[in-house]
């Protein structure tokens, strides 16, 4: 019986700690202000990695992005080049609402993504269908972007299942000209 109690306490502690994040309002007075429409316009490149729940790096990748906006409606095309040779595509349909709020959709996103910008930070939350071993697993993503300067944005994402972090994603975006391609980077 003691083992079950210990297991329940460990699970509750892990669940509680995995749900802790700083509120977006903490970044209101920070700069430079991250303008999603401005930053994700034109071509840019990103490098990233996926870490499992033990922090082991399981995948590395490069992403070529191209964004265009017509008023408050945006299209962000992404091409992912993984270190194992896999290439995947995602096209985000984006919509700017009022006061730094955004909505987004993509083929592998369940429902709509919701986002909010404040200062140099942007929080993006959505459910994503992730292919794993021939199945599609639905994971909840809590995606945080932080603008470092006019060219660079860091991105940290927690991927959760049943409220427990199962993987983390780290990305580094760069749009300093001339923009490289993933083919040159790999």
State whether CATH 2.40.128.20 applies to domain 30-185. Answer: yes
Measure the CA–CA gap between 102 and 96, rounded to whole angstroms: 5
The answer on pLDDT for 15 being more than 60 is: no
Rounded mean pLDDT of 103-130? Answer: 96
Average pLDDT across the chain, whole number = 87
Would you list the domain boundaries of the chain? 30-185
**Strand spans (E) along 71-134:** 73-82, 87-96, 101-105, 109-118, 121-132
**Each residue of 120-147: pLDDT tens digit?**
999 999 999 999 888 999 999 999 999 9
- Say whether pLDDT at 5 is over 50: no
- 60-93 pLDDT, tens digit per residue, is 999 999 999 999 999 999 999 999 999 999 999 9
Distance from C-alpha of 54 to C-alpha of 56, rounded to nearest angstrom: 5
Task: Evaluate whether 139 touches 162 at the Cβ level (below 8 Å).
Answer: no
Distance CA 157, CA 132 (A): 18
pTM to 2 decimal places: 0.83
């Amino acid at each position: 019986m003691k083992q079950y109690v210990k297991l329940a306490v460990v699970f509750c502690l892990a669940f509680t700690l995995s749900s802790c994040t700083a509120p977006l309002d903490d970044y209101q007075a920070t700069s430079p202000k991250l303008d999603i429409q401005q930053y994700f316009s034109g071509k840019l490149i990103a490098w990233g990695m996926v870490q499992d729940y033990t922090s082991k790096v399981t995948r590395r990748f490069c992403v070529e992005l191209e964004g265009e906006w017509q008023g408050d409606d945006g299209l962000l095309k992404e091409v992912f080049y993984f270190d194992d040779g896999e290439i995947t595509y995602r096209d985000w349909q984006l919509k700017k609402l009022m006061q730094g709020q955004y909505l987004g959709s993509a083929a592998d996103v369940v429902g709509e993504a919701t986002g909010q910008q404040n200062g140099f930070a942007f929080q993006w939350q959505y459910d994503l269908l992730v292919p794993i071993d021939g199945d599609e697993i639905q994971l909840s993503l809590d995606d945080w972007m932080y603008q470092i300067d006019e060219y660079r944005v860091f991105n940290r994402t927690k991927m959760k299942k049943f409220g427990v972090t199962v993987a983390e994603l780290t990305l580094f975006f760069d749009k300093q000209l001339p923009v490289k391609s993933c083919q040159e980077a790999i």
